[in-house]
Amino acid sequence: MGTFTSIEEARDFFKGDRFATDNGMQIDALSEDSCICSMELEPKHRNALGGVMGGVTFTLADFAFAVIQNHVHKYSVAQQVNINYLSAPKGNRLIATAKVRKNGRTSTIVNVDVVDDTGRDIAQFTGTGYKLPAEKQQ
């Protein structure tokens, strides 16, 4: 059983993630061990060459990682992450699907696949989350 009782509760919790939400990132689906987050691409997400900034893709993947990580164990933080950029987005929307690969006693491994709305593979992200002990939670 996840820590959020509903997707609405997760959305309310992550309203506090201002960088992601101010950039249009949203939670679309949430299950026991996976979630889907997405965003519409806007001119502000482009670099000087007109492509989507790598940080936009990273932030969406990191947001999806945070959502599922904190659904597995409230409260958790990133311990280590890695991203591989596969292709430049050609569509108007990015979609990140995060899946728990390992849910251990103190850590969680999550894979996040990012695609655009044309189905193009954009990035592959892997994160290790650390489950904060009760005495460290704020």
Q: What is the CATH number of the domain that holds 75?
A: 3.10.129.10
CA atoms within 13 A on the CB side of 32: 3
**Residue numbers of the domain that contains 94:** 7-136
Q: Looking at the domain assignment, is residue 132 inside a domain?
A: yes
For residue 71, is it within any domain?
yes
Q: What is the pLDDT of residues 88-136, one digit of tens each?
A: 999 999 999 999 999 999 999 999 999 999 999 999 999 999 999 976 5
Distance, in Å, from the CA atom of 96 to the CA atom of 91, rounded to the nearest integer, reads: 14
Number of domains composing the chain: 1
Domain membership of residue 2 (yes or no) is no
What is the percent of the chain with per-residue pLDDT over 70, rounded to a whole number? 96
In this prediction, what percent of the chain has a pLDDT beyond 90?
Answer: 93
Q: Is 102 domain-assigned?
A: yes
Counting runs of H as helices and runs of E as strands, what totals does the chain give?
A: 3, 6
In a domain, 12, yes or no: yes
Average of per-residue pLDDT values in the chain: 95
Contacts (Cβ under 8 Å, ≥6 apart) of 93: 38, 39, 40, 41, 116, 117
Backbone angles phi, psi at 46, to 5 degrees: -95, 150
The yes-or-no verdict on residue 137 having pLDDT over 60 is no
User: How much is the pLDDT for 138?
Assistant: 56
